[in-house]
Chains A and B, each alone.
Chain A
């Protein structure tokens, strides 16, 4: 009997979650799809975003994400490797870093925005720019990325490390040939979470990458991200809802496409690693 209740409860919860997801996506598609067209994706916004398209905003979003990931992935992976593989000899240092990261991961994004504005935009003189926004986002997703990568690396059984050591493999080869491939699914999960958080971010970008909806000419130009565009259309521009919905559909599709590409790239990499060994 208790089992049956538990089963019903689990199914109920699972259905509820799926229903909420379906509702959100359904509402978005219902309201957004009619306004979505090739013209919307390939035109510049006019009349404060009520008319025209989102091409420059799409480009800015991808550039900001690219800057963020180019900085965050090597730094994140490097720190995770340091913590999981080399930190064991200095547990105090590891604990300190981990504690700082956990605190940073809980900091509201607007704080990162203000920090990014003060440090990258004003102190380093980048002004309102895609570079400044991307670096601020990198600071924001780094804690998430490091902690998830570290957990993934730690989940690799120590037997692998001992076996590699017994075979006399250099540390780097152990890492590259054995530990990283073994940890790939966990690393990718963290990466996808980080990308999601970066794409959804508004507060951290408002004061760093800015509000300009022109096509960016370089990384030092200000560029409006999709999330800021949606927020502005929904909250600040009367009559902007329909284009806000359409932009939100684009944002979700972008997220799905990037996630799919990431998983595919990881699969391919893993395949190469394993067959090459």
Chain B
């Protein structure tokens, strides 16, 4: 019994030691001009782009460190509010209840409806898309296609692409009758490429890139406007969204380092990086 207790005590002591050793405080983010550390969290769409921008920023400003985390736009908003992140990444416009944050656009992205390459329909009207997603039309034959059931691919709750899609078509997520629910862009592309009867929606840049590589998908025109990065750039494509960085409070409340990083991320100096990740840089 006594031996057992000693062993238990030893275990407890070890645990305490672990906790004590690990509780080192993090250094604060804003010490002086353009040195220090920034943490960004948020949208998985934006994270790879910001990761690349961060590397170039660190090179131009030695002494700075920019850590980019991911997790989704909602997480970006929550972490910026809580102070866990200096800057949040949000791949949509801010909602009305998020006016405690300041948003800075850094790039544009569009959302395209995609179907399998072998789908004979050249175009779908907005009414047809709404009818398909709400389950009023369940077979391609009903709208002039082959006699096959439609596989409706929808995005998971909390994804900005879903919110943009719902907002544009004035739908509620409860009204949608999805066959498959997916997460990231690539998953949507794979799902549609593997199923000749599927319809889904993904980021335009990803869709055009994958179609050009020969993946079996095609992007549909919206309201007579071709789904291309060019049409997102000139503002004519209806389903487009700004990619944002957000900070808590007004612009003045952000640290000097955060402000200079945001400025850098929106500047022409990183346009090539933005295009390399298949987004549209802001016009300067």
Interface residues of A (CB under 8 A from B): 46-49, 71, 74-75, 78-79, 81-82, 86, 89, 120, 122, 124-128, 131, 135, 171, 206-207, 210-213, 220, 222, 232, 234-240
Contacts and interface: CB of A to CB of B under 8 A. Distances in A.
Nearest to A70: B18
27 contacts: A47-B52, A47-B276, A75-B11, A78-B11, A82-B7, A89-B1, A89-B4, A124-B23, A125-B23, A125-B24, A125-B25, A125-B26, A126-B26, A127-B26, A206-B71, A211-B70, A212-B67, A222-B67, A235-B183, A235-B185, A235-B187, A236-B48, A236-B185, A237-B186, A238-B185, A238-B206, A238-B209
Nearest to B48: A48
B168 interface: no
B3 interface: yes
Interface in B59-98: 67-71, 84
B145 to A, nearest CB: 27
Contacts of A125: 23-26
Nearest to A220: B24
A207 B14 contact: no
B71 A239 contact: no
Contacts of A47: 52, 276
Given A124-B19, A124-B23, A206-B70, A235 B11 contact: no
A238 B22 contact: no
Contacts of B25: 125
A238 B205 contact: yes
Interface SS, B side: helix
Interface string B159-190: 00000000000000000000000011111010
A76 to B, nearest CB: 11
Contacts of A212: 51, 67-69
Contacts of A86: 3-4, 7
Given A125-B24, A131-B22, A238-B189, 17 more contacts: A48-B48, A81-B7, A82-B7, A82-B8, A126-B22, A126-B23, A126-B24, A126-B26, A207-B69, A211-B47, A212-B67, A232-B44, A232-B48, A235-B183, A235-B186, A236-B70, A236-B184
A238 B210 contact: yes
Nearest to B82: A122
The CB with the most chain B CB atoms within 10 A, among A47, A82, A212, A238, is that of: A238
A235 B278 CA distance: 15
Contacts of B210: 238
A237 B279 CA distance: 12
Contacts of B284: none
